[in-house]
Amino acid sequence: MEQLLEILEDIQPDADYAACETLIDDGILDSFAILSIVSELEDTFGIAITPAEIIPENFNSAKALWAMICRLKEEA
């Protein structure tokens, strides 16, 4: 989880990733930021993220992102 928070901070600073649960709904992460995050997550955690995974439920909070990472790691 710490690694994930570091990635998020690096790509899009100025957001409270530990607490925010509306990263997509409030427009904090735009499509450029989302794809930058996807690229880093794929490299760091060795997972493959498909277009079907890019939904607000998976990107609205660091917690949701972490859940997606864990699920994709299990499925891999």
Partner 1 sequence: MSLISMKFILFVAAAVAGYYLMPKRVQWVWLLLFSYIYYASSGIKLLFFLIYSTLVTYAAGRLLSVVRTSCRDKKKIRKYGRLIIAGGLVLNFGMLAVMKYTNFVILNINSLFGTDLDFVSLLLPLGISFYTFQSTGYMLDVYWGKCDPEKNVLRFALFVSFFPQILQGPIGRYSRLAGQLYTSRSFDFQRIERGIELILWGFFKKMVLADNAGVFVSAIFSDPEKYAGLSVFGVLGYSIQLYGDFSGGMDVVQGIANLFGITLDENFRRPYFARSITDFWHRWHITLGTWMKDYVFYPVSLSGWMSRFGKFAKKRFGKSTGRVLPICLANLIVFLVVGIWHGAAWKYIVYGLYNGMIIAVSGLLGGQYRRWKKALHIAGNPWWYQLFQILRTFILVNISWFFDRADSVPQALYMMKNAVTSFTPSQLLTIPVQQSGSTAMTAAVLVIIAAGCTLLFFVSILKERGVQIRESLAMRPLAVRLAVFLALFFALPCLGQPPSLTGGFIYAQF
Of the pair 20, 53, the CB lying nearest partner 1 is at: 53
Smallest gap, in angstroms, from Cβ of residue 1 to partner 1? Answer: 21
Of the pair 21, 30, the CB lying nearest partner 1 is at: 30
Of the pair 20, 54, the CB lying nearest partner 1 is at: 54
Structure tokens at 33: 């930021």
How many residues can be counted in the chain?
A: 76
Site residues for partner 1 per CB under 8 A: 11, 13, 27, 30-32, 35-36, 38-40, 42, 49-52, 54-55
CB 60 within 8 Å of CB 66? no
Q: How many beta carbons lie within 10 A of that of residue 62, not counting itself? A: 21
Smallest gap, in angstroms, from Cβ of residue 22 to partner 1? Answer: 16
CB 72 within 8 Å of CB 47? yes
